[in-house]
Structures are given as C-alpha cells and as structure tokens.
Structure 1
Amino acid sequence: MDSDLTFSSRRSPVVCLHGCVASSQPLASAIGLDILKRGGNAADAAVAIAAALAVTEPNSTGPGGDTFCLFYDEKTGEIRGINGSGRSPRAQTLDLLEGRGYTAEAPPSPYHALNATVPGAPACWCDTVQLFGSQKLSMQEVLSGAAELAEGGFPVAEVTAHHWAKWLRESGKELGGDLLIDGHPPKMGQVFRNPNLAQVLKELGERGKTAFYKGRVAQAIVDIITQNGGVMTMDDLSSHDSEVVTPISTEYKGVCLWELPPNTQGLAALLLLNILENFPLKAVGHNSCDYIHVLVEAVRLTLTDAFRYLGDPDHMTVSLETLLDKSYSRKQAQRISMDRAMEEVEPGLMTGSDTVYFCVIDSQGNACSFVNSTYMGFGTGLVPKGCGFSLQNRGASFSLHRNQVNCVAGGKRSFHTIIPALLTDATNKSEKPRLLAALGVMGAFMQSQGHVQLLLNMLEFGMNPQQAVDAPRLYVHYDQKTKQWLVNLEEGFDPEVAKELQKRGHKVNWPIKGHKRSQFGRGQIITVGDWWNPSVNQTDHPSRVLWAGSDPRADGCAQGY
C-alpha cells in the first residue's frame, strides 16, 4: 500500500573534510566512497556508483540505459560535460512507423521494442574515467565493486522493492528471468544475485567499450530487439559514441547554475530561474501560496517552451542564446498574474520515468554530477540473453508529429529529461569559478523543477542540504487525459495553501503521500562550505568542509570521510 511508506525519521546533514558521495542506495554510496579512499577521484567514484546502482536498482538504471555527466576540475575551474545518450536505430523512421499502422494518436506501446534506443551508459562510463578520472585506477578496478556485488548478492532495499514490483506489473514483461527470483520480483530484504550482469561488468572493465558495442553483448541486444519487432542493428551499436559538450549556465543572485545543453531539458531549469529572478520569493515566504503560484506559472511557461523548442540540437530551430536572453524571461514573467492561473498552449508528450541521480566531491575539490536511466522503470522490459540488464525505452519520448522538433527519425537523439547540475560562485568574475555544490533531482519533468526548488531552499531560505531535500516539494504536470495542468503538492504543505491555490484557478492534488511521493523525485546534494547559511561570515568560515543531503524518498544516503 502506498500509505505504508511513512516519513518518521530525521537526518542531519553529513559533514566531512576529505571526500563525499550521495546516492539512492547505501551499498552504492559505500562503493563510491571506497574508490575515493583508494586514490580515485570524483569521476572514478561516480562511475563506480553508476555500475553499483545498475546492480542494486535495475528498475531505474543499468547498462541498457543512457547517462549524462558534468565534471568540475578544481585545478582549472573548468566545467565539462558528456552527453551519454544513444540514438534511434537508423531504420527507425516515421515512414516505417506509419507503414506499420502507428500514428501520433496511436503510437506503439511505450514498452515496444521499437522504442529501444542505443544504450549510451557503458560508453559514457568508460569516457568519464578516461577523460576526467584520476588515471590511478583502471576501468576494471572502478567496476570491480559493482561486479562483486552482482555476483555475491545483496539484500534489496524497501523503496526499490516496491518500484521493482510496480514496474514489472506496468511493463507486463518477464524480464528474461534475470531480474526475478523464481519468476517473482524480490521482496524487501531478500538477497538478489545477478551473475550475468557481473560478467558484463567484468568484460566492460577488461575490454572497454568494445566489449559492449561489439561482440556477444551487442549481438544479444540486436537479437532480443529483432525478435520483438524492433529494427536495431549491429551497425547502430558499433557506431555509437559519447559526445563531449560545453555546459550552459545562468546566474541567479550571485550563483551560477550549470546544466547540459539539448537534447536534455537542462535549459528548462535555467529558463525557470531567469523567470523567477523577477519575483521577491524570499519576501513572500517558503511554500506560501504566492510562492507556489509564481513557481507553478513559471514552470508552465518553461515546460511549454521546452516542448516547443528542445530536442536533438541538429534539428532545433531556435537558438539557446535566444531562449536564455534575460529580456525574454522578463517578458515571460510579465505574463504571470497573481490572482489567477493563466491559460497556456498545450504541450507535447509528458510521461513518467524512473532514474538515479548521484554526485561526488573528492579531497582535491573535483566534483562529478551524474544521472543514469532506463526511462520508464525497466524500460522496454527486454533483457538480452545472458546479460542481466534491461533495455531502455527512451524512444517512447519521440513525437510522431512531422512538424515537431522532437519527431522520430533514424539516427536521432530524442528529447531527454535526465539532467545533472553543478553550482558555482558568480560574484568574482576575475577568478576561476569556485565550486559551491553538485546537485540533482531525478524523475521525468520533475527534474528541472527539483533543481530549482533545492537551490531556492538553500539560497533564499537558508536551509542546509539535508533540510533542502527533506522539504515538501511541488510537481507541475500536464495530464494528457484531462488536458489540464495539475499542481501536485506533497504531504507537509499547509492545507490552506492548497485551498487558496484552487481559488486562483489551479487544479490541485493534495496531499500526495506514501510511495506516491516518488513523483517528486529523489535528490542528492553536496555543498562546499555552508554558503547557504546567512548567519555565518563566509570570509572567516572554512569553506573546505563538505555538507551533504540525501533524499528520504529513496533508500540511499550520503557518506563521507
């Protein structure tokens, strides 16, 4: 039952000096921390965590999915990114889909093999270690902890067990037996082993990207997709590679938020901040009716723009510079009325997802912000023979409308919801950017909203990282069935606020509790120093102390040393 998940415990922020990790699974956090203690840096530890989460939370992530990475280099202050998303098969054209009888109104099932896109995660894991890693640990050493966990087994955590069963029901797939115990999803505390995934991780560690994108694993991927009506080929897999990208950013009251460019929705978080900068949020009060009203209206404007304009950058018709222009955001802000909810153009497809977000800051001050996903739970639910992981269904986010930027096409990257973030100090432009935080919130279109809510919780309202992730969140969602914008409020909001929002014309769902809280995402954050604390003189206070918070909506924790 959803109501069985109670939030009765209290956490303090984790504080440490030498290195810190935060993820949605304690065993994965421990593996990342071990990498730091063995001499690895933030990038090495992040990849170790990514692989460990593929073992412990396969309903959210794995080698069959996509990933994105942001890395802050303490020596240079440079921030670089890797786009680890895969493309659609070259044969996956709109003509092909229409020839099979599919239309925008009647697309393939989200779990159909036609929605399997090339997995980008394994290549991104290898490239993150190669480009940003310490060079002190081999890829085999980085992945060894996850491989041992898969081979030896682990007890399944509470929230994970719930969603493991939920996504199995929704996909209607058998998961090849690899991700079940005697045909059933594992229960909380039950020990689960995945020797096939352990072998894939060992091969990836020994032979790198070739082990995944060519040879027996690639053939197994093509076979299962072809057997179920998909069109992916060995050439689609062997030609895949990650893309090193330049992050995008915006300033908000002395800080700079960094996101990845399209095909991600990172721009949506920046647009949202630019709109909100025009309102006195601190003065109206945290989670007050006025605060929520402005945030909701700004999210509606932002998501509408994201659906209109964002997708594979090779197909976009509006420049990032145009959208990020502050005057554009001021015009958007002027449309927001305080006494009612505006009407807005109906956006495109909005769907749910399951994802993992995690972050690491090491003893040198490097930071890695990382997100990994198979999109909807187990994705397609198709498990390549002898591999122990499911294939993502990211292709379900393509549009079948010919005039949309995100329309399906062969060899194209779809609009992507998953985004990591970094935060730097913007007050001294003559020096290299000073790292303030690595942060993120997973969960479909909650992610851009979650990034901003965490940031505002700290910067405007002085919350520490754990308080910032604990605080009740709101999620603005467009419901395709009712053709309405919905404002979902988590348990903990004042009931009078919900009533007042309804008077202003909002469709409000309150209170959301239990396992249904998953729609508000699961966030992690690590800050360098307590810059968010208004009572501390930052000039005299040591900034090298790391503060971390981990979301109580997940099973995980932050760990440091």
Structure 2
Amino acid sequence: MRDFHFPGRSPVLATNGMCATSHPLGAKTAIDILECGGNAMDAAIAGALVLGICEPQMTGIGGDCFVLWQQGEADVQALNGSGRAPAALDAADLRNAGETTVPIQSAHSVTIPGAIDAFCYLSETVGKLGLDALLAPAISAAENGVPVAPRAAFDWERDATVLQGRARDYYLLDGQIPQVGQLFRAPGQADVLRRVAKNGRDAFYTGEIAEDMINTLTALGGRHTVEDFANAACTHTTPISGGYKDTDVVEHPPNGHGATALLMLNILAQFDIANMDPFGTLRTHLEAEAAKLAYDARNRFLADADYTTRLDHMLSMDTAKALAALIDPGKAMADATQISGNTHKDTIYITTVDRDGMSVSLIYSIFNGFGSGIASDKFGILLQNRGSGFTLEEGHPNELKSGKRPMHTIIPGMLRKKGKIIMPFGVMGGAYQPNGHARLASNIVDFGMDPQTAIDAPRAFSDRGDMKVEKGYTDTVRQELADMGHTVSIPETPIGGAQAILIRDDGVLEGASDPRKDGCALGY
C-alpha cells in the first residue's frame, strides 16, 4: 500500500469491468461500451478510436495495431493489424537514390494502414455490439472536439515540426500549436468513420477515402496503388511466451518485437534480481546490459514473420545463458545495439476486462510523433511512417521489400500463471517497450509490487549508448552507473507509459495507469 502522505495513485478496484489507458476520455468510452452490453473487445476498439482524436500525435486511423485477447479456458489469441510496404517499392530503389535509411518523413516511409481492417474484423468476429456502435464515440469526439490534455499538449509542441503541407491545416489551430484545454476537432475523420460504420472496411480501403490517401502519397513520390490498399488484411497469429520464475509472459510474435522482451527476461533470470535493491545501481546496470544484448539480437533477426528464421534461437534459454555470461556486473559493455532505421516512436495502449472474464491487450500507433507528418489532402488522415522501421541493408531479414511488413516496436502483453491470464498489460515508449515489459514483469515477480507501484517505479533505458535515468533515481545511482562506464543522462521526457489490469483470484479487477501520461484506469 502506498504512503498517503505523498502524491501518488491508488489502484482502481471494480468487479464488472475495467479499462486502463492513456487518456480519460478513452477509458470512459470503454466503460460506456461495457455498460451498454459490449464485451472487452468492443470496449477496446471503441476506446482506441477515441484515443486517435485525443492523442493524434500518438495514434490514429492511418496507423497499425496488434491485439492479444483471451476468454474462459481458451488459449490466448493474437491478431496482426500491421500494414505492408507498397508492392512497387524496394530497398534497391532507395539505395540507388543514395539513401542509407528510409527517409522518416517521406511517402516511402508510409506503409498501408492496418488498424481499420483489424478493428472491422474483430468487431465482426469477436465483438457483440456492431461496428456502428463502436465508431459512434469517436465520430462524436472528432466532430465536436476534445480538450487538449496536458501530456498531449506537451508532445504536440515537441513533435509538430514534422507536420507538412495540409497536415499543418488539420493538426494546428490557426497555424499555432494547440494549448492545454483548447478544442481539437477532426471533421474529416468523422466523415471517414461514418462511412466505415455504414459500409465497413471497404469504405476505407477502396473508393474515395483510399484514393485521397493514394493521391496525396503519389504526389510526394510514393509508389502506393489502389491494389495495395484494397489488398490490406489483418492476420491471425500464434502468440509466443516464456516463463519468468512462476509467471509466463505472453507476447505477440514477429513482426513485433515481443521476442526481445522474452530474451531479455531469460537473460535477467540468470541473476538473483530479487535480492537486489529494486532501484539500486546493480539491478539498473544488469537490466541495461541485458537490454543491449537482447536488442542487438532483435536488430539482427526480427522482421516480417515470413522472413524471421531465428525466432527459436532468440527464445532459447541456451542463447540467454550465453549472452548473460558476457555481462560484467561491475562494468558497462560497449553498446551492442546497432539500430536499423529510426527509433523514436509514439503509441497508445488500451487494456480492457469484462464481467465475463474476456481480457484484451491492444496497442495502436502511427510510429513517430505525428507519424510521417503527411495527412491526406481531403480527409486529413494522418499517415504512419512504419516503413522507416525497415532497413536498407541488402540481404537483411528486415530489408524493405515489396508487400513486406516492417519490424514493429509496438507489443501488447499478458501475464499468465498456472495456465490462467492474470494481467493484460502494455508499455508504450517505442524502442523501450521490450525493456519496459521485462522491467514491469520483474517488478511484479521479483519484488511483489502491485501493478500501480510497478508502473510508478522509476525507469532507466540504455538507448544507443545513452543511459537514460529518470529523475526518480538518486544522484548516487547515477554517479555509480557513470563510474561503471555508462554515459548517463536525465531524459527530457519520462520513459514511456504503461497500463495494466490485474485479475485477482477473488474476481476483483485492479486497474493501474501510468502518471507519465494523461490517462487513468476506470471500472464499474
């Protein structure tokens, strides 16, 4: 239990249903859907779509999603809602043009948005209320506007420089960055969602809406075609998992990088983390070293599922033991991570649990802040730049190729104990996400923290040679890390964000949401 003398958040407790996410209006939407008889999938979809209006720098209908869900005695299911590169685009084209990476704010960085196809499919096959009911709250938010929240305003100011062309008209207010409390409206998106509510996914991927996106992109040199959009389709996948002591961590398989989190946990399992100071120097150092090694493996092996051939190697405990043997408990290694492409990403996460025990873990993103910075001319659909997650290195598993999915940073997660899902969770923060999954699981398993305490706890992340250490650590820890050879900094923004719902043995739901974001957990 937290010390009530100090600022903090109490867990949110309820019995009928719960949502935890990064904006209160998204959480309220999800609860409204549950109270109207929707299930956890309905609630997650409706809430996520509202978040695209509340946090447009993070996510939107021009982006991708990944989803895990589970109900009753059934196995965890997974859906890949990520899009593909245009069929006419190849890494060789960009290499021949003198590029060494996919230009991060260019039409070439825009992969086909996959989220709408996934949401429509899940609404029809898993949900209960129907697509029109799930889109109605987002249509209202887009039409009537939502007040800009404090963290959203902070990110807006930081990221708005990437907005180009018509995107500046749609995502600035009279040419100015929105301030806290100002209303942001997206009437073009309201129109798009009305058409999807009436005619389903084809309204988005064919006809006038798709042509608006295609024409905008081709005017900027993109190779996108009508066929690319018409052929967009989500994919059922099989979750991957790994044990950390008495708890399994369930992740989405590639092209997401959940395997990185599992490898990192396997490396950490070689050390007696539970007997260390949770916020001390040694644990922080070992976590950083494990991240360097796990991310290096990610950068070499992970890609589109059809191109990932070394997944078993990444998940092998023998691999983890060999990597753990490379770690010096008293000295930082040279940074092993060589990121292919760009690594700063923005994301929203939403988790829901309903009264019948269905749990959903859904993550939804446009990649960088404001994605590609390109919005479609007519409807103002902000387009993701997931294509910048490809590498241009010839022969690499993650090399940009026709119709291929890029390696993704966004990963939904779940904790499972004795065959039962006990906590859907997610950690935002781009490249930090696998590190965040490992840290959250360790906070709970090694140190017995409740979900809110585990989320509140200070974070550190060794990111391309920069050891980012949040203000929640002591100066002594920062100095000792520097003495070990880490290049230590205090990050300008806090590291990531997280949400979780613990499904307790007594049936009570315990929601937790990160104070680093605007959001909350709500239940009823």
Deviation for aligned residue 1:386: 2.9
Count matched residues: 518
What pairs up with 1:452-463 in 2 under 5 angstroms?
Answer: 452-463=438-449
Pick one of 466, 488, 504 that aligns with 1:508: 488
Equivalent pair of 2:105/2:162 in contact (CA under 8 Å): no
Aligned to 1:122: 116
CA–CA distance in 2 between the matches of 1:436 and 1:465?
Answer: 11
1:382 maps to 2:374: yes
Structure 2 unpaired stretches of 5+: 1-5
The Cα of 1:9 is off from its aligned counterpart by 4.0
Distance in 2 between residues matched to 1:527 and 1:444, nearest whole Å = 24
Q: Secondary structure at 1:455's aligned position in 2?
A: helix
Q: How does 1:49-128 map to 2 (within 5 A)?
A: 49-74=47-72, 76-99=73-96, 101-104=97-100, 107-128=101-122
Aligned to 1:156: 148
Deviation, structure 1 residue 359: 0.5
Q: CA deviation at 1:189?
A: 0.2
Cα deviation 1:406-453 (Å, max 9, x = unaligned): 111111111100000011113xxxxxx212101011111110111111
Q: What residue in structure 1 maps to residue 462 of structure 2?
A: 476
Retained in 2: the 8 A contact 1:548–1:558? yes
**Aligned position for 2:497:** 522
User: Contact (CA 8 Å) 1:176, 1:385: kept in 2 or not?
Assistant: no
Deviations 1:25-84 (A, max 9, x none): 10111001000001111111010011101111111100101110001122x231010001
Counterpart Cα distance in 1 of 2:204 and 2:365: 17
TM-score normalised over the length of structure 1: 0.90
Mapping of residues 189-228 of structure 1, within 5 Å: 189-228=181-220
Q: One-letter code of the match for 2:445? A: L
| 2:206 equivalent to 1:231 | no
Structure 2 counterpart SS, 1:314:
coil
SS for the counterpart of 1:445 is: helix
Looking at structure 2, the residues matched to 553 and 239 of structure 1 have their Cα atoms a distance apart, in angstroms, of: 38
Contact 1:71–1:132 (CA<8 Å) still a contact in 2?
A: no
Task: Tell me how far 1:179 sits from its aligned partner.
Answer: 2.2
Distance 1:142 1:255 in 2: 34
Query: Offset of 1:369 from its aligned partner?
Result: 0.3
Task: Give yes or no for contact 2:257–2:434 (8 Å, CA) kept in 1.
Answer: yes
One-letter amino acid matched to 2:329? M
The equivalent residue for 2:3 is: none
Aligned residue for 2:447, secondary structure, equals: coil
**CA-CA distance at 1:184 after TM superposition:** 2.1
Task: Supply the AA of the counterpart residue of 1:486.
Answer: D
Letter in 2 for 1:58: P
1:172-218: CA deviation from partner (whole Å, max 9, x where unpaired): 55515122222223211011221111111111112111010001110
| Displacement of 1:543 | 2.5
User: Which residue of the partner structure matches residue 555 of structure 1?
Assistant: 518
Q: Residue deviations 1:129-179, cap 9 Å, x none?
A: 22322x2x1100011111111111211101101212221114455515122
| Equivalent pair of 2:292/2:337 in contact (CA under 8 Å) | no
Corresponding residue for residue 314 of structure 2:
323
CA contact (8 A) 2:64 2:365 kept: yes
Amino acid at match of 2:90: T
State whether structure 2 residue 334 is matched by structure 1 residue 343: yes
Shift of 1:340: 1.0
User: Which of 281, 292, 297 does residue 273 from structure 2 map onto?
Assistant: 281
Q: Contact (CA 8 Å) 2:241, 2:250: kept in 1 or not?
A: yes
Question: Is residue 102–residue 108 contact of structure 1 (8 Å, CA) maintained in 2?
Answer: no
Which of 33, 38, 61 is equivalent to 2:31? 33
TM-score (norm 2): 0.96
Given the alignment of the two structures, is residue 418 of structure 1 paired with residue 410 of structure 2, yes or no?
yes
Partner SS for 1:34: helix
Letter in 2 for 1:54: G
Matches within 5 A, 1:138-149: 138-149=130-141
Q: Which residue of the partner structure matches residue 21 of structure 1?
A: 19
Q: Helix, strand or coil: the match of 1:264?
A: coil
CA contact (8 A) 1:399 1:407 kept: yes
Which residue of structure 2 lines up, in the alignment, with residue 497 of structure 1? 477
CA distance in 1, matches of 2:330, 2:14: 46
Following superposition, the deviation at residue 116 of structure 1 comes to 0.7
Aligned equivalents of 1:23 and 1:258: distance in 2? 19
Provide Cα deviations, 1:314-362, integer angstroms capped at 9, x if missing partner: 22232x2222111221111111111211235452325101110110011
Task: Report the Cα offset of residue 98 of structure 1.
Answer: 3.1
The amino acid across from 2:182 in the alignment is Q
In 1, the alpha carbon distance for the partners of 2:378 and 2:48 equals 20
SS in 2 for 1:449: helix
Identity among equivalent pairs (%): 36
In structure 2, distance between residues paired with 1:370 and 1:507 = 34
Give the 3-state SS of the residue equivalent to 1:411 in structure 2.
coil
* Counterpart for residue 508 of structure 2: 545
- Once the two structures are TM-superposed, the CA of residue 109 in structure 1 deviates from its matched residue by 3.1
What is the distance in 2 between the residues matched to 1:129 and 1:189? 32
Could you tell me which of 437, 448, 454 is aligned with 1:451?
437
Q: Which position in structure 2 is the counterpart of 1:533?
A: none
Matches of 2:38 and 2:237 in 1, distance apart? Answer: 24
Match of 1:178, SS?
helix
Distance 2:45 2:482 in 1: 45
Aligned-partner Cα distance in 1 for 2:326–2:516? 34
Equivalent AA in structure 1 for residue 433 of structure 2:
Q
SS at match of 2:458: coil
- Quick one: which amino acid aligns to residue 149 of structure 1? A
Provide the rounded CA distance (Å) in 2 between the counterparts of 1:171 and 1:397.
19
Spell out, residue by residue over 1:367-386, the C-alpha distance to the aligned partner (whole angstroms, 9 max, x if none).
00001111111111211133
CA drift of 1:388 comes to 3.1
The question of whether the paired residues in 1 share the 8 Å contact of 2:168 and 2:175 is answered with no
Deviation at 1:237, TM superposition (A): 0.4
Change (3 A) 1:470 1:176: same
Q: Distance in 2 between matches of 1:114 and 1:102?
A: 14
SS at 2:306's partner residue? helix
Partner of 1:255: 247
Structure 1 window deviating more from structure 2 (375-384 vs 38-47): it is: 375-384
- Which amino acid in the other structure matches residue 30 of structure 1? K
Unmatched 5+ stretches in structure 1: 1-7, 427-432, 479-484, 530-541
